[in-house]
Amino acid sequence: MMPARGLLALMRLASPALPIGGFSYSQGLETAIELGWVRNEADVREWLESLLLGNVGGFEAPLCRALFEAILTHRLDEADRLHARYLASRETGELRAETLQMGQSLLQVLAGLSEVDAGCAGLLTGWRQGAQPCALPRAWGLAARVFGLGADSALSAYLWAWLENQVMAAIKAVPLGQQAGQRLFSSLQPVLADVIEQGARQPECTWSNFAPGFALASSRHETQYSRLFRS
């Protein structure tokens, strides 16, 4: 069982109160609703499960776990390589802008915390002021190091935060009731657990973020007439 200190750190990192702006993004879900691809609770479940089994589970989860592990074990060249690959994988301008805004916001949060030791402070300063902007997964890996979390725990918090933001976006945009949101969490939690426990350890040669419907929804959101969300 995780010690209380670690569990509290994990809950803090995954909390919707973390001030990095995740609530303002839908990652194309708003457009899928606008186009009629997603119309009800069952459709939301299918949309999110397909992402978990597809580009999230098949690419983002294993890449992020490898990135977190590299940061935690001080293999910074490998962390930089994985970070560059992650940025290159963002299919649209909105998705790239989202991860960079949230990454920089998380670095700003960390900069104001007393938990940051000398080793992490150097990375934090370099990544905040560097020529290459910092995406959310790299900042998340640094947060995991600051809070003393392992790669699996950091990935659990990262993916739960993603799922929570997606469900909350669906509640607002479909719209759905709060109880429907809780049913979605119950039905998708086992899928998410499988992604964390199994999919995140896929060898890099098998990673794939191929999800054309998701990419089309994200790209069409850029010109959608009426929007609640930034992506």
pTM (two decimals)? 0.96
Q: What is the pLDDT confidence band of residue 198, given thresholds at 50, 70 and 90? A: confident
Element of type H or E holding 218: helix 212-221
**C-alpha to C-alpha distance for 112 and 162, rounded to whole angstroms:** 24
Instruction: Give the domains, in start order, of the chain with CATH numbers.
Output: 26-221 (1.10.4190.10)
Q: What is the pLDDT of residue 61?
A: 96
Q: Where are the beta strands (DSSP E) in the chain?
A: none
Q: What is the pLDDT of residue 132?
A: 82
Which of 30, 59, 22 is CA-nearest to residue 219?
30
Radius of gyration of the chain (CA): 17
* pLDDT beyond 80 at 199: no
**How does the average pLDDT of the chain come out, rounded?**
95
Q: What is the mean pLDDT of residues 111-140?
A: 93
* pLDDT beyond 80 at 76: yes
Cis peptide before 175 (omega within 30 of 0): yes
Q: What is the pLDDT of residue 9?
A: 92
pLDDT-above-70 percentage for the chain: 100
The mean-pLDDT minimum among 19-28, 139-148, 219-228 falls in: 219-228
pLDDT-above-90 percentage for the chain: 91
